[in-house]
Structure 1
């Protein structure tokens, strides 16, 4: 058996004491009380735990580093693991492309990168967007600022520079010594499993890497310089070959007295902080020339410095999260300094929101609001609005799971978990603007963050698909009490024209769209309803104008609004609150589609929409006029003939396409992408308009004749 030191578990069949299961790197079963074992296949290795049904022991749930699996036949067959978001992630980084991508090391898989929003369509569904990006399961994987095709990745102390464009990874190991099976006391450099990689916030070509020393490269790893002494609490007696005499378990991954975190100040170049997995915190104020031990005096020795966050707002300010549960200490430890570590304040005394027996893994300060802190713990997520004086649970729909790392990118909170994959809390704007006046106001409309004109759908095709934020503008409002009258939300363009109106209790019914067989197309999100209950509410405007009428009386999907400044108005009774929204073009369109192109597209698509509305009114008028008429009536036959020119008869395969299909076909051609309509689109619009005008003349003639004729016997 391998890896005995931290996840060997023994379970006994509750109905037969001779049947014993052992979870280890492999999964083993004994039927003779442990005298002999047979290995049992499971969907994944590194087996940790299991549950046996006490009433039917053939039914078991077993967990491993791939997720959970169920057997109904005593472990002969298992259920799939490809139906659950159970990735174990060690850390998280984000890049600066659009949409931004998320990076981490995933236990027993690889490093992994996934998009925060779908960058397009892909055969295989949304779950097919992920990429392996160098290194291995441990990570980290840190994208190079300004060039997300380059990723600096780690695999258990081995540094690599991965090129996403070529799929090749250059290997530059500091010291180039194979650590597996080697007594750590003989190693020149001690690297642990999750080796820190820090890209300087001031120079994307400067990268820091940590053993017991801080190593720095300015040429992507080709050459390294050591810029620190040993920054750990090195004790020779801890540097031994582990596992003997039963199992030699010296994998070269669990070295003690190594650096676990390196962070350079975003405000002060050359101010670099380190934390070790055996307790010390150090800082240099002169780019590594001198280092000072600034370990918080209230932190017991030998714990792991799990994270350091250097304030993006105030020089000298930093936060430290320490993790000591492996030493049987389950207390939360988050410290703050405002003077480069000269003095520290404990922000987690067990009584101010994060309770005792809740080990802390990570703390981050929001880059958009000073003193807004997020803390990831063994048992969920917490937030502080006052720089750590008080903490509040911040769980919402996030599973109760260990939080391993946090990052804020473009007002999103990105969360890495140990067992429930990545999560994103989309749009932190309410937290950035929340104050006592906002909380006390009967109705408050928050200033929205900039929205981007993007085309994708948020509906999931399967349980394996990611859950994306619906495309559109995120609008937040707060009601102190349940609304006593209808809420109305209006979107007005720069000229003051209301292009969309939503009223609580009046959920829009959208006509379904036929996707056809043209391959992957963006799925559309259904419009939301305004919530009138007390509390904070999110509403997403899908960036569309009001749509055309359909023959069913429902509203079709309107054209997309063009980039610009819009007014958002929220009305409740006699009170109206307004704010502005900036709608920006998708940055990926630069040089391909212009503002003028999109304005021309909007004008064209509005004209097509008006044609659809005219068509729908004609059809509804004809159908109303036909009601009560006998089918043999001359007027009925005349109306039916006009109706058949307007509406495609879909009762048979491949019917001739009438005006309804022809207009919708044109609408589809110019609404799938951001584009300038082509000449054929304008010509076809003119032709269809003339055709509809001609049919309208026929209809007017029949209707005039019906109005002049005496009432028929068919009525």
Structure 2
């Protein structure tokens, strides 16, 4: 990974306020840094003992004699690459370490550690989803490899009890991009930093290294930290990989050919590769229509599978990092682009579209906030519906990028590095760089394009009845409750009146609830006003014989719940807007 000479770390001490410095140890502290000391370089002194020091790099080291001798202060459950350390000024030995694996806590100066597994703090570079049933979610994480698991998993700690974490690791290192062969949902292409990619057979647990190498006598390829790969939708034996050139394999990565020259402005000397491709995308509508973007702002297109290339930078800001390029799946000539200007201390949003294969560009992020944009995606089912992920959240546009609105306000404000829409489930998957992965269904969101800004409750899926509703295994545990999730669009944040009634109009529950502005999801536990039990009983028993009549009783938690049947949920806001939907419990 790093072909660079490394000079070990050194520790110096001053006892006169910095006028004179003395090295505390002989030689160098080798193995602390790995070519990029600026990434670590932390040193801390115990508040109660000036001779107890900690330095942080790939390992965390401790000295108990003022820096003369050093020992490893990590543990088997402590990840490498250490960035932060807090030392409790009131309790000697109590330290909290922040590393590439999250947070660890020690109460004995690093002799033993506890790992904190919640809340989820995964830093995802890239995510994807297969077409299996149920479908699986894949993600490449910062120094924690590549993981896969079912989308049905709900974040929690119950797995600690039975020992089976629902997500499984399929690759180590810094996990990078993932492509899945949807013909079998078993063949996966993924890898780790600087273009090291593999073809994985999940069922057999086998993997083959596939990264192409330069010919003897040629300059080595330059691979980005997160080198882009793309599996053709037209033939999933065809895989593209981007170095500073674009490579294509026609046989699942067994071998590659170059289909371009250098698509960047060329390399520069430095501690990491520069002049590399950062994004590759082939049109779903035409084989061989491929776009590339680079870390030095070069955007190129080929319309004939790499036989000829056109540079399409005209009208774009110069030298910005291409964070994502995507060919439209609705219009063959249309393409979307997001740029990032971090390295110039510029945190504006840069989002563009072209309707002529990149000959001309229109800026479309004008009303986005000052937040760098990391990804842009087009909805696969609805032309003009766009999503962007920024350093603070997710935004949506219904008019092909002219206006944007923030969505998923319940999600932490954390960098969003990738967005994927699973086309069968219509789930939007959000890969964050700091709070793991979130999921939201966009079926109802799509309907808001032509919505008149009135209060609206959306259709509710049928609910399966459970006789366990409200039951308690122990009086010391919460009762079991199966809840209904329903989506509501509200023109403003407001308090509305909710009424739950039988299909014949008899009210069973009336209460006030708070609505957020815009589209949001809410839960209803299916309980009713206990005083309305007889009304529910009468409704359910209408037309039934005495032997078939239902008896309504309070559950273990003293609540009364809906039974099998048809019900109406109605919302009324202060402006007199009314919206209702049917609830079917079967």
- TM-score bin (small chain): 0.7 to 0.9
Select the residue among 145, 149, 152 that pairs with 1:117: 152
Q: Paired residue for 1:378?
A: 391
Cα deviation, 1:232-260, whole Å, max 9, x if unaligned, reads 1114xx256x4xxxxxxxxxxx4222222
Output aligned runs, 1:435-584, within 5 Å: 437-439=451-453, 441=454, 443-447=455-459, 474-478=486-490, 482=494, 486-488=498-500, 503-505=509-511, 531=513, 533=515, 535=517, 536-539=519-522, 549=551, 552=554, 555=560, 570=570, 572=572, 577=579
Conserved 8 A contact 2:414-2:435: yes
Task: Please say if 1:25 is aligned against 2:58.
Answer: yes
Q: Paired residue for 1:353?
A: 368
Q: Which runs of 5+ in 1 are unaligned?
A: 179-184, 243-253, 460-469, 506-529, 584-601, 603-715
Task: Please say if 1:415 is aligned against 2:430.
Answer: yes
Secondary structure of the corresponding residue to residue 169 of structure 2: coil
Select the residue among 136, 148, 151 that pairs with 1:101: 136
Structure that is richer in helix per residue: 1
Counterparts of 2:497 and 2:409, CA distance in 1: 28
Cα deviation, 1:84-136, whole Å, max 9, x if unaligned, reads 412221101111122221111123332111211149x9996596221233575
Task: Please say if 1:89 is aligned against 2:132.
Answer: no
Counterparts of 1:160 and 1:400, CA distance in 2: 33
Q: Give 1:73 deviation, angstroms.
A: 3.9
Per the alignment, do residues 195 and 479 of structure 1 end up closer, same or farther by CA in structure 2, a change over 3 Å counting?
closer
Per the alignment, do residues 480 and 108 of structure 1 end up closer, same or farther by CA in structure 2, a change over 3 Å counting?
closer
* Higher Cα radius of gyration: 1
Q: Paired residue for 1:158?
A: 196
Q: Paired residue for 1:69?
A: 104
Counterparts of 1:50 and 1:152, CA distance in 2: 36
Select the residue among 427, 433, 458 that pairs with 2:441: 427
Greater alpha carbon shift after TM alignment, 160-169 vs 372-381: 372-381
Structure that is richer in strand per residue: 2
Q: Give 1:66 deviation, angstroms.
A: 0.6
Select the residue among 173, 196, 203 that pairs with 2:211: 173
Q: Give 1:64 deviation, angstroms.
A: 0.6
Counterparts of 1:367 and 1:582, CA distance in 2: 30
Conserved 8 A contact 1:134-1:160: no
Conserved 8 A contact 2:187-2:199: yes
How many residues were matched structurally?
A: 509
Per the alignment, do residues 72 and 427 of structure 1 end up closer, same or farther by CA in structure 2, a change over 3 Å counting?
same
Per the alignment, do residues 389 and 56 of structure 1 end up closer, same or farther by CA in structure 2, a change over 3 Å counting?
farther
Q: Paired residue for 1:230?
A: 262
Secondary structure of the corresponding residue to residue 154 of structure 1: strand
Cα deviation, 1:465-492, whole Å, max 9, x if unaligned, reads xxxxx886744354768566542366x7
Q: Which runs of 5+ in 2 are unaligned?
A: 1-31, 471-481, 528-535, 541-549
Conserved 8 A contact 2:497-2:513: no
TM-score for the superposition, normalised by structure 1: 0.62
Q: Give 1:414 deviation, angstroms.
A: 0.8
Per the alignment, do residues 196 and 145 of structure 1 end up closer, same or farther by CA in structure 2, a change over 3 Å counting?
same
Per the alignment, do residues 297 and 202 of structure 1 end up closer, same or farther by CA in structure 2, a change over 3 Å counting?
same
Q: Paired residue for 1:664?
A: none
Q: Paired residue for 1:709?
A: none
Output aligned runs, 1:250-261, within 5 Å: 254-261=272-279
Q: Give 1:60 deviation, angstroms.
A: 3.2
Per the alignment, do residues 150 and 575 of structure 1 end up closer, same or farther by CA in structure 2, a change over 3 Å counting?
same
Select the residue among 287, 298, 309 that pairs with 1:280: 298
CA RMSD across the alignment: 4.2
Counterparts of 2:324 and 2:102, CA distance in 1: 26
Select the residue among 297, 315, 318 that pairs with 2:335: 318
Output aligned runs, 1:542-691, within 5 Å: 549=551, 552=554, 555=560, 570=570, 572=572, 577=579
Conserved 8 A contact 2:44-2:54: yes
Per the alignment, do residues 48 and 501 of structure 1 end up closer, same or farther by CA in structure 2, a change over 3 Å counting?
farther
Counterparts of 2:107 and 2:184, CA distance in 1: 49
Conserved 8 A contact 2:228-2:279: yes
